[in-house]
Amino acid sequence: MRTIYAETHALHRASGEFAFGAFVEHWEKPERAEAILSAVRAAGLGPVEAPRAFPRTALTAVHDEGLVAFLEGAAAEWAASGRPEGGFACTWRAPRMRADRVPASIDGKLGFWSFDSVTPVMAGTWAAAKGSAECALTAAALVAGGERAAFALCRPPGHHAGRDYFGGFCFLNNAAIAAQSLIDGGAARVAILDVDYHHGNGTQDIFYDRGDVLFASIHADPSVDYPFFLGHADETGAGAGEGANLNLPLPHGTGWAAWSAAFEAAAARIAAFGADAVVLSLGVDPFEKDPISRFKLTSDEFGRLGARIAGLGLPTVFVMEGGYAVAEIGLNVANVLTGFSAA
């Protein structure tokens, strides 16, 4: 299995985040990707290569042009304001506030295009985000070309970024971009299976009214965990997408038995959907030692997960999402991939 890795990810290193009532260390840091890369190489999973270049239209196929343009220039606008690096939003639109006018100031723009205070725009953010998306696009191209699977070692992650907003450490939705590229390349139907601890609200947002992409997500109950405002079981799609959205929220403390039962429900829906390929939003933050998550999967169980993904019997694009236990993140990702390859 080929791994696609962009060194530009290291250009995005956030100074911190506003969370839990304080300015704290940023959990989404370059060491995550570096640890995964080291473990993938040690496991002998296959070659590691740089991503190919893709046109801007591959991004705007799922994202609003205004969001993409903002992300391209946001760091320069923030720097021009004369403040220290790290552009954070300080106010957001509430219901019934106007959404038809983009503010002229960088502070207003940050609030217009983002939804939280944990995702600052830095000098290297755009290069990192674009490189991350191109990792996903390259992996999708390999699978479309006949590879059984490919691993996009994406950083920053992507599944919280919606059509016209960013947040949750995410700027461009790598899994959605990969899925759309498969559709554009001739796939009639694509499934996105999101196993990250947090609901992929951005992915749901992008495909909610479409019937050609199934989104299935296993995640923490949004009543009590991030992102709070999407991810409930009664969100099943709209219009042409009715029935093509499956949310499987689980309570804090969930271990392998209940988690794997949810996986089987997702697998059954994917089989019934008749997908030509699956994009796997791979978060390993359901891990029992993850510092910002509250599920109880073990490192060995990630190997079982990989084998079960192989059991779907579909060409598979692995797209890296979350996982914040840096000491174990490489092992957990490698276990998923080796479990898949062995099966």
Domain count, the chain: 1
Buried b (16+ CB within 10 A) or exposed e, 121-137: bbbbbbbbbbbbbbbbb
Around Cβ 3, how many Cβ atoms within 10 Å?
Answer: 23
Q: Is residue 109 part of a domain?
A: no
Q: Provide the pairing of β-strand 149-152 with 190-194.
A: unpaired
Per-residue pLDDT, 20:
80
Nearest-10 Cα torsion for 59, 318, 33, 121: 20
Q: Please choose, from the candidates 290, 204, 217, the residue with its C-alpha nearest in 3D space to the C-alpha of residue 249.
A: 217
What are the Cα distances from residue 78, in Å, to 64, 125, 320? 21, 12, 28
Q: What is the pLDDT of residue 105?
A: 96
Average pLDDT along the chain: 97
Q: What is the pLDDT of residue 65?
A: 98
Average pLDDT over residues 92-104: 95
245: DSSP letter: E
pLDDT surpassing 90 at residue 254? yes
Across the range 300-311, mean pLDDT stands at: 98
**Can you give the pLDDT at residue 300?**
98
Distance between CA 142 and CA 137 in Å, rounded? 9
Q: Looking at 7-21, 120-134, 174-188, which range is the least confident one?
A: 7-21
Average pLDDT over residues 209-235: 98
Is 246's pLDDT higher than 90?
A: yes
Whether 278 maps to a domain, the answer reads yes
The range of the structural domain enclosing residue 163 comes to: 2-64+124-342
Residue 338 CA to residue 343 CA, distance in Å, equals 8
Q: Is the pLDDT of residue 257 over 90?
A: yes
Under 8 Å between Cβ of 44 and 32 = no
Residue 253: give its domain's CATH number.
3.40.800.20
Residue 111 lies in a domain: no
Reported as a pLDDT band with limits 50, 70 and 90, residue 213 is very high
pLDDT of residue 84: 87
The pLDDT assigned to 19 comes to 86
Instruction: Kindly tell me if the per-residue pLDDT of 293 is higher than 90.
Output: yes
Bond from prior residue into 120 cis (ω within 30 degrees of 0): no
Please state the rounded mean pLDDT for residues 319-335: 98
- The answer to whether position 114 is within a domain reads no
pLDDT at 236 over 90: yes
Specify if 201 maps to a domain: yes
Please determine, for residue 21, whether its predicted confidence score (pLDDT) is greater than 90.
no
Residue 15 is predicted with a pLDDT of 87
Buried b (16+ CB within 10 A) or exposed e, 102-115: eeeebbbbbbbbbb
Distance, CA of 171 to CA of 169 (rounded, Å): 7
In a domain, 99, yes or no: no
Q: Give the side-chain half-sphere CA count within 13 A for 310.
A: 17
Cis peptide before 157 (omega within 30 of 0): no
How crowded is the C-beta side of 52, counted as CA atoms within 13 Å?
Answer: 10
pLDDT at position 120, please?
96
Please tell me the distance from the alpha carbon of residue 181 to that of residue 335, in angstroms, as a whole number: 27
Q: Is the pLDDT reported for residue 80 higher than 90?
A: yes
Q: What is the pLDDT of residue 295?
A: 98
Lowest-confidence region among 76-85, 270-279, 289-298: 76-85
Task: Please give the positions annotated as active site.
Answer: 160
Q: Does residue 214 belong to any structural domain of this protein?
A: yes
288 belongs to a structural domain: yes
